[in-house]
Amino acid sequence: MQLIDGKSLAQQTQAQVAKEVELLKQTRNIVPGLAVILIGDDPASHAYVKMKAKACEKVGFYAITHSMPETISQEEIIATIEMINDNPRIDGILVQLPLPSHIDTDKIIEVIDPKKDVDGFHPYNVGRLVTKLDCFVPCTPLGVMKMFEKYEIDLQGKDVCIVGASNIVGKPMASLLLNADATVTVTHIHTKDLAAHTRSADIVIVGVGKPNLITKEMVKEGAVVIDIGINRLDDGKLVGDVDFDSVQEQCSFITPVPGGAGPMTIAMLLENTLKAAKSREIL
C-alpha cells in the first residue's frame, strides 16, 4: 500500500503558483485577486476561509473576505457579488458554502461572472466541463485528478465507483473521469447495494460525510481508494469516510484524512485564481 500525500503535492503546487504570481507581477503588473463571501458564524466555514486566506497570502495574492451576518438578505448578497464582478482587481469569487436556508444557493452561484467562478460551480463552467471544453473545474475533483497524475495512476478503461452525487464533488468528478476514458458508476443515498458497486471497482472515490462508511469488506484487493470525506468525531479527531486502518491493508493506494484531498482543494483554488488572473483583460 502506498499513501497518497496530498499535503506534499499541495505544497509543491503552491510553490509553483507563487513563482508564476511573481512573474505575472513583473511582466504584466497583475496581482491575482480573490474575493470570498462568508455568511454567518459556522465554525467550519470560518476555519476553511481562514485557511484559504492564509494560502492566498503565502503565494502573493490580493485577498479580501466579505463577512456577512446570518440574517443577510439574498438581494444584498447579489448586490455584493455584482459589485465584485465589476471590480477589475478581483479575478476570482468564492462563496463559502453551505449558505443559510433562506438563501437560494443556485441563484447566488448564477450571479457570479463565469470568468471569475474559480469554484467551477456556475452552470456555464459545469456545461463546459461535461463537454470537455476549457473551463474552471471544481477544486476538490481537480485536486483528485492531480493526485492521479502525480502518482501515475492510469484511469483509461478503469472501473471507478464514486460514492456521493453532489454538485460539488460527485458529479464533476464523474465528468472528469469520463473525460479521462474511465468507466464510471455514481452511487448515492438511494443506491440499493453500495458494497456491490464498491467491491467491483478498481478505484473508489468517496465524499459523503459519514465516518467509516467504507470498510475493508467493501473494497477489492489492490484497489485505489480516495477519501474526500472529513468528519470530526466526539473526541475531536478528524477522520474521513473510509475506515482507514482496515482498508489500507486491502488497497494499493489510499489518501489519508487529514493530509489527502483537503490540502489539494485549496491548492487548486489557487491554481484556478491564477488561471483567471492570466486571462485578465489589459485595461
- Select which of 5, 14, 91, 96 is catalytic: 96
Residue 84: CB atoms within 10 A of its CB come to: 22
- Is 41 part of the annotated catalytic residue set? no
CA–CA separation, 171 and 147 (whole Å): 18
CA–CA separation, 66 and 93 (whole Å): 11
- Is 181 part of the annotated catalytic residue set? no
Contact 172, 272 (CB under 8 A): no
Any bridge partners for residue 187, and if so which? 163
CA–CA separation, 194 and 46 (whole Å): 33
Instruction: Give the pLDDT confidence score for residue 282 in this predicted structure.
Output: 61
The fourth-level CATH superfamily of domain 29-114 is Leucine Dehydrogenase, chain A, domain 1 (3.40.50.10860)
- Is 52 part of the annotated catalytic residue set? yes
- Select which of 5, 91, 117, 119 is catalytic: 119
CA–CA separation, 215 and 247 (whole Å): 6
**181: region left, alpha or beta (phi > 0 left; psi from -120 to 50 alpha):** left
- Residue span(s) of the chain under CATH 3.40.50.720 come to 139-262
Radius of gyration of the chain (CA): 19
Amino acid at 273: T
Output the DSSP codes for 92-138: EEEEPSSPPTTS-HHHHHHHS-GGG-TT--SHHHHHHHHTT-S-PPP
- Select which of 14, 52, 115, 227 is catalytic: 52
Contact 93, 121 (CB under 8 A): no
From first to last of the 283 residues of the chain, give the pLDDT tens digit.
Answer: 999 999 999 999 999 999 999 999 999 999 999 999 999 998 889 989 999 999 999 999 999 999 999 999 999 999 999 999 999 999 999 999 999 999 999 999 999 999 999 999 999 999 999 999 999 999 999 999 999 999 999 999 999 999 999 999 999 999 999 999 999 999 999 999 999 999 999 999 999 999 999 999 999 999 999 999 999 888 888 899 999 999 999 999 999 999 999 999 999 999 999 999 999 876 4
Instruction: Give the pLDDT confidence score for residue 181 in this predicted structure.
Output: 98
How many residues would you count in the chain? 283
pTM: 0.95
Output the DSSP codes for 175-219: HHHHHTT-EEEEE-TT-S-HHHHHHT-SEEEE-SS-TT-B-GGGS
Element (H, E) at 227: strand 224-227
Instruction: Give the pLDDT confidence score for residue 42 in this predicted structure.
Output: 87
> Does residue 61 sit in helix, strand or coil?
coil
The fourth-level CATH superfamily of domain 139-262 is NAD(P)-binding Rossmann-like Domain (3.40.50.720)
- Residue span(s) of the chain under CATH 3.40.50.10860 come to 29-114
Instruction: Give the pLDDT confidence score for residue 211 in this predicted structure.
Output: 94
Pairing between β-strand 238-239 and β-strand 231-232 as defined by DSSP bridges: antiparallel
